């Protein structure tokens, strides 16, 4: 797949995707696009002149997404940017999220788990100087954001990977719940234990439903790509509930695809709309409250 950007005046839909069943067809399409773009001046030099941006090939990432082991060697050395060949990488990082050539986020999970674990160790060193409220606040502000950054993009990870993040939260909560060693207060003033926090999976599901409500009901323009077609009306049974707001669930046999945002949130949305009436009249805060009940 190739994303070709065309910089034309008032051309808002200026991204064209080229799909190819084989690598040879993709290479031919790239060469044809390059030749056809020459008369229009759509080259890197044209971009430098008209957009006033200096592109740095050394900061450009290239990756081949394919199940074929021969895909990478066939493209190696043929991708150029500003006349400089781009080396192929096994994984690329986009806005702090790492994805590999198989569209998996395993490396990203390992990375954020390591960073969050280091911060839990730092919390342990200062825990004796804080009360339970201070430790909980420090966890929410300095550790949990690492475990939740761009979670809707990597929620398709297997449970074995997301459990690593859950174990880090449990580690931190054990520190929060630990009794303060010096001078325990009198029994009447004993502080109640910290209430358990919502699981990270629950928080991801709440965020997914809120985002889907913005796309499906509120019609937020930049989320239009997440909208799903409505489900064709069928009769309800005791095991299958239907709602006028239900959507079609994408069919897939791959467990990884079923865990992706659209596949997972479509199933949750249908359950949510069957249980909660008047969803068309709800705002974002109302959806959050309803999901958390």
Q: Looking at the structure, do residues 11 and 69 belong to the same domain, yes or no?
A: yes
What is d(CA 110, CA 164) in angstroms, rounded to the nearest whole number? Answer: 8
DSSP 85: E
Question: Does residue 95 belong to any structural domain of this protein?
Answer: no
Q: What Cα–Cα distance (Å) separates residue 111 from each residue in 31, 105, 115?
A: 37, 10, 6
Q: Looking at the structure, do residues 145 and 71 belong to the same domain, yes or no?
A: no
Q: Looking at the structure, do residues 115 and 58 belong to the same domain, yes or no?
A: no
Nearest CA to 143 out of 168, 107, 110 is that of: 168
Are the beta carbons of 214 and 223 closer than 8 angstroms? yes
pLDDT at 217 over 90: no
Question: Does residue 188 belong to any structural domain of this protein?
Answer: no
Mean pLDDT within 252-275: 83
Q: Looking at the structure, do residues 208 and 140 belong to the same domain, yes or no?
A: no
Q: Looking at the structure, do residues 126 and 164 belong to the same domain, yes or no?
A: yes
Predicted local confidence at residue 59, as pLDDT:
73
Angle between helix 200-216 and 284-292 (nearest 10): 140
Question: Does residue 99 belong to any structural domain of this protein?
Answer: no
What is d(CA 186, CA 127) in angstroms, rounded to the nearest whole number? Answer: 21
Predicted local confidence at residue 31, as pLDDT:
64
Question: Does residue 41 belong to any structural domain of this protein?
Answer: yes
Three-state DSSP at 3 gives strand
Q: How many domains does the chain have?
A: 3
Residue-wise pLDDT for 124-161, tens only, equals 999 888 888 889 999 999 999 999 998 888 988 888 88
Question: Does residue 67 belong to any structural domain of this protein?
Answer: yes
Question: Does residue 231 belong to any structural domain of this protein?
Answer: yes
Q: Which residue has the higher pLDDT, 254 or 198?
A: 198
Q: Looking at the structure, do residues 84 and 15 belong to the same domain, yes or no?
A: yes
Reported pTM: 0.68
Residue-wise pLDDT for 12-27, tens only, equals 343 344 444 445 555 5
pLDDT at 73 over 90: no
Predicted local confidence at residue 133, as pLDDT:
87
What is d(CA 267, CA 274) in angstroms, rounded to the nearest whole number? Answer: 11
Over pLDDT 70: what percentage of the chain? 70
Domain that holds residue 267: 201-292
Domain final residue, candidates 89, 117, 135 = 89
Domain final residue, candidates 197, 226, 256 = 197
Q: Looking at the structure, do residues 162 and 242 belong to the same domain, yes or no?
A: no
Q: Looking at the structure, do residues 175 and 250 belong to the same domain, yes or no?
A: no
Domain final residue, candidates 197, 225, 240 = 197
């Amino acid at each position: 797949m190739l994303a070709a950007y065309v910089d034309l005046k008032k051309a808002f839909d200026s991204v064209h995707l080229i799909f190819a069943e084989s690598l040879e067809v993709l290479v031919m399409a790239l060469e044809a696009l390059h030749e056809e773009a020459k008369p229009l001046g759509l080259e890197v030099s044209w971009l430098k002149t008209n957009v006033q941006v200096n592109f740095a090939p050394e900061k450009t990432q290239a990756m081949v997404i394919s199940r074929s082991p021969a895909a990478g060697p066939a493209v190696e050395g043929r991708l150029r940017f500003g006349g400089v060949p781009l080396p192929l990488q096994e994984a690329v990082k986009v806005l702090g999220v790492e994805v590999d050539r198989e569209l998996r986020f395993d490396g990203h999970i390992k990375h954020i788990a390591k960073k969050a674990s280091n911060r839990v160790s730092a919390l342990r060193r200062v825990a004796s100087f804080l009360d339970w409220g201070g430790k909980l606040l420090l966890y929410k502000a300095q550790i949990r954001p690492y475990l939740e950054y761009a979670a809707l993009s990597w929620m398709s990870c297997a449970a074995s990977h997301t459990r690593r993040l859950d174990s880090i939260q449990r580690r931190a909560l054990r520190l929060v719940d630990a009794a303060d060693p010096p001078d325990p207060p009198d029994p009447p003033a004993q502080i109640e234990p910290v209430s358990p926090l919502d699981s990270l999976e629950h928080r991801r599901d709440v965020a997914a439903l809120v985002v889907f409500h913005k796309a499906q009901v509120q019609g937020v323009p930049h989320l239009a790509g997440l909208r799903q077609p409505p489900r064709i009306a069928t009769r309800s049974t005791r095991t299958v509930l239907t709602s006028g707001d239900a959507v079609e669930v994408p069919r897939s046999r791959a467990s990884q695809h079923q865990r992706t945002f659209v596949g997972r949130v479509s199933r949750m949305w249908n359950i949510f709309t069957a249980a909660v009436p008047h969803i068309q009249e709800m705002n974002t805060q109302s959806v959050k409250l309803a999901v958390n009940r």
